[in-house]
């Protein structure tokens, strides 16, 4: 089912959408099953690694994760669903026929205090030649106001990119005292399992800790239009691949269509995500190691 013209206009003006039934019940059940298995296998992990980012209190008796990294590389079903579901249709409506995956992540906020994601703009992490980039957030569990939902500030995708620096380094979060940060305009995005949020790469967003007794598991895909080429990415693995490796990897990351070899250059605001924070292994560790100020303290 394609987006309506009204939905497309809303996204263009506000920079976000909430789309229900983004996957079928069967797809949702399979994704939840795979996710549960990945979390179960984390019980024996004692330090964050290339697969798991551990939250405080994680242990064999109580697995607590902030994130499963690159889930589309952990199980091919995460990739299959992105390419063959209503998500694929929404992608075509908003970005056209040629689209590439930048990264995926499964944020698994544990009950009883699962870590917050401080307010930020994805664009600050990975500037491109144009800003036709977005993120899908597929809810694998029901999400309500109590378990750390995504919050967005409408229209900020058409405004400035705020400073994401603290203590002289890129900290991956804005200063909550920034006069351009209008917290009172925030909209909370909640929905049933199977619903999906969409937000533009320049939209200000964040999420509070999960204070409920229920998990909040959201599968995120960050995606670029085929003619948007990366300038730099904070902790993007593909920048270290070299020319041949990058090209081969790009073929594997094409969701729909094919790569565009003529980047579209637009006068978009760009600032490099440098110098890097002491720990850039995840957004949580980037924000913490650089001393980002919390808007949720």
Per-residue pLDDT tens over the stretch 57-108: 898 988 999 899 999 999 999 999 999 999 999 999 999 999 999 999 999 9
CA 3 to chain centre: 21
Asked whether the predicted pLDDT for residue 10 surpasses 80, the reply is yes
**Are the C-beta atoms of residues 95 and 135 closer than 8 Å to each other?**
no
More confident residue, 113 or 150: 150
What residues contact residue 197 under an 8 Å CB cut-off, 6+ apart?
16, 17, 18, 19, 135, 136, 137, 139, 150, 189, 191, 218
Calculate the average pLDDT of the chain.
Answer: 94
Interatomic CA distance for residues 128 and 133, integer angstroms = 9
Q: What percent of the chain has pLDDT over 90?
A: 83
Asked whether the predicted pLDDT for residue 165 surpasses 90, the reply is yes
**Predicted TM-score of the model (pTM):** 0.95
| DSSP state for residue 51 in the 8-state scheme | S
The pLDDT assigned to 295 comes to 93
The pLDDT assigned to 1 comes to 72
Q: For the domain with range 5-153+187-272, which CATH number is right: 3.30.565.10, 3.40.50.10860, 2.20.25.90, 2.60.120.620?
A: 2.60.120.620
For 138-147, the pLDDT digits (tens) are: 999 999 999 9
For 196-249, the pLDDT digits (tens) are: 999 999 999 999 888 898 989 999 999 999 999 999 887 788 888 999 999 999
Please provide the DSSP assignment of 99-112 as one string: EEEEEEEEEEEPTT
């Amino acid at each position: 089912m394609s987006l309506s013209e009204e939905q497309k206009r809303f996204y263009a003006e506000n920079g976000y959408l909430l789309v229900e039934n983004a996957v079928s019940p069967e797809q949702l059940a399979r994704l939840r099953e795979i996710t549960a298995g990945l979390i179960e296998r984390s019980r024996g992990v004692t330090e964050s690694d290339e697969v798991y980012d551990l939250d405080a209190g994680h242990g064999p008796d109580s697995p607590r994760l902030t994130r499963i990294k690159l889930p589309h590389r952990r199980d091919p079903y995460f990739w299959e669903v992105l390419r063959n579901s209503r998500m694929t249709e929404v992608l075509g409506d908003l970005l056209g026929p040629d689209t590439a995956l930048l990264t995926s992540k499964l944020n698994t906020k544990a009950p009883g205090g699962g870590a917050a994601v401080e307010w930020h703009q994805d664009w600050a992490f990975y500037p491109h030649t144009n800003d036709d980039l977005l993120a899908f957030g597929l809810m694998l569990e029901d999400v309500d106001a109590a378990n750390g939902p995504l919050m967005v500030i409408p229209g900020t995708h058409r405004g400035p990119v705020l400073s994401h620096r603290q203590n002289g380094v890129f900290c991956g979060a804005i200063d909550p005292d920034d006069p351009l940060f209008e917290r009172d305009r925030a909209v909370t995005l909640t929905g049933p399992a199977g619903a999906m949020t969409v937000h533009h790469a320049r939209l200000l967003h964040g999420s509070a800790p999960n204070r409920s007794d229920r998990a909040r598991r959201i599968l995120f895909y960050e995606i670029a239009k085929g003619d948007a080429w990366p300038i730099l990415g904070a902790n993007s693995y593909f920048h270290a691949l070299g020319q041949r490796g990058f090209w081969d990897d790009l073929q594997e990351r094409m969701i729909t269509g094919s790569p565009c070899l003529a980047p579209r250059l637009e006068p978009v605001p760009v600032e490099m995500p440098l110098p890097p924070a002491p720990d850039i292994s995840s957004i949580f560790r980037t924000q913490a190691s650089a001393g980002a100020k919390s808007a949720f303290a």
